[in-house]
Chain A
């Protein structure tokens, strides 16, 4: 017997298995499952099995097994002298096969009842949710209030920052702005260039623009003390011969 997943069960012409086929024959002919001579169905059964040529080997063998028993039952009814059986064949009586068929018919009925329930969709659901991590005990209401105030402050600031106009600055644009500014006035502080509440992007672009201007010898940068104000001054262009 194969282990693990197998390809989906093949059912040809709608038969789920050999017993299903036999049951179908009984029902088609409107025969009583309790009194029908199963051997009489042998020929028809064989004819159906022959039509199932495409079945995989182990499926065919299951059909052929039932078929062979039906043929044996037929042979016995035709030749009563065959009836004495060895002990091995004791299980192959018509009654045993009939019981299996009845059991299968019951199973089919149950499967249909379950299928009906499934199709009706009347199912139950349980409560689904991750395990709750309970907070530690002994919370301090004052600490909570303080934290809330802090959050409020942060929120307010965020709202204001949102009002700062768009952050799409290019270094080129900023460089031109600063160059124009130092052309008008000899010195300007770095803080002035940044404005009141610079966004990170604005500060970076301004800084890079200053570095660029410094590299191109447009400006001088001085800082008198650590963390002191940075002075940005127009560079004196001696080459142009301008008097200081």
Chain B
């Protein structure tokens, strides 16, 4: 199996990039159509299966990262500390990750407690970020997860979030919170 020239070009650009690169920027850089770049990305994704690398994407921003299975070695090499989060911070992160974009009031409604501190903690760890203001009374900030979040949890995209069944066996996400 050989890679298409476009896939090789995409790989080369992503290799030197220090931040995720959008598909449109890839297309512009390489001089190929967005559709061809999409196919090249799929090709690369398939290609990396079983190697030490993975293709990670948040929305349409793409990045080459190391395979989560290789984390112990890479962490040793980098001397990286393992991320630790309190259970309260994890709960807030779970709400943001699965229900983004979400406001602080919504997070607090679901958790039933004040979430200022945990949101502050998650923001300072770059796991969540302000996406913008919602067009609602008080124009509250909406929060979403970052690509660092995907990286820290070894998820190739938000679609890879662990599926957790709600108590009635419904796939999580279909349960609607009462306000």
Kindly state the separation between the CA atoms of A17 and B92 in the bound complex, as whole angstroms. 12
Residues 141-174 of B at the A interface (beta carbon under 8 Å): 150-155, 161-162, 164-168, 172
Are A102 and B113 interface neighbours, CB within 8 A?
no
Are A114 and B177 interface neighbours, CB within 8 A?
no
Residues of B within 8 A of A128 (CB): 18, 78
Are B71 and A118 interface neighbours, CB within 8 A?
no
Contact among A2, A59, A124, A131 for B113, CB-based, below 8 A: A59
Interface centre among B116, B117, B167 (most CB of A within 10 A): B167
Are A123 and B68 interface neighbours, CB within 8 A?
yes
Question: How would residues 97 to 115 of chain B score, 1 for a CB under 8 Å from any chain A CB and 0 otherwise?
Answer: 1100000000001111110
Kindly state the separation between the CA atoms of A176 and B97 in the bound complex, as whole angstroms. 82
Residues of A within 8 A of B87 (CB): 16, 111, 115
| Minimum C-beta distance from B143 to chain A (A) | 15
Contact among A4, A100, A102, A124 for B154, CB-based, below 8 A: A124
Q: Kindly state the interface size class of chain B when it binds its partner.
A: 35 or more
For A115, give the chain B residue with the smallest CB separation.
B90
Are B116 and A118 interface neighbours, CB within 8 A?
no
Q: Is A103 an interface residue (CB 8 A)?
A: yes
Residues of A within 8 A of B155 (CB): 117
Are A127 and B120 interface neighbours, CB within 8 A?
no
Are A122 and B116 interface neighbours, CB within 8 A?
no
Are B167 and A114 interface neighbours, CB within 8 A?
no
| Minimum C-beta distance from A197 to chain B (A) | 45
Are B112 and A34 interface neighbours, CB within 8 A?
no
| Minimum C-beta distance from A89 to chain B (A) | 14
Q: Is A121 an interface residue (CB 8 A)?
A: yes
Q: Is B12 an interface residue (CB 8 A)?
A: no
Contacts A99-B176, A106-B167 given; does A62 touch B68 at CB 8 Å: no
Majority DSSP secondary structure for residues of B touching A = mixed
Are A114 and B93 interface neighbours, CB within 8 A?
yes
| Minimum C-beta distance from B116 to chain A (A) | 5
Contact among A1, A16, A91, A105 for B116, CB-based, below 8 A: A1
Count of chain A residues near B, Cβ 8 A: 54
Residues of A within 8 A of B94 (CB): 107-108, 110-111, 113-114
Kindly list 11 other residue pairs between chains A and B, CB separation below 8 angstroms, not including A105-B167, A108-B94, A122-B71: A9-B113, A103-B175, A115-B90, A118-B84, A118-B85, A118-B153, A121-B82, A123-B151, A123-B152, A124-B151, A125-B75
Minimum-distance CB pairs A-B, first 3? A17-B113, A122-B68, A124-B65
Supply 30 A–B pairs (Cβ within 8 Å), ascending by A: A5-B120, A8-B86, A17-B113, A34-B167, A59-B113, A62-B113, A62-B114, A102-B167, A103-B110, A104-B111, A104-B112, A107-B98, A107-B110, A108-B91, A112-B90, A113-B164, A114-B93, A114-B153, A115-B90, A118-B85, A121-B71, A121-B72, A123-B83, A123-B152, A124-B66, A124-B68, A124-B151, A125-B71, A127-B15, A128-B18
| Interface residues in chain A, defined as those with a beta carbon under 8 Å from any beta carbon in chain B | 1-9, 11, 16-20, 33-34, 58-59, 62, 66, 91, 96-97, 99-100, 102-118, 121-129, 131-132
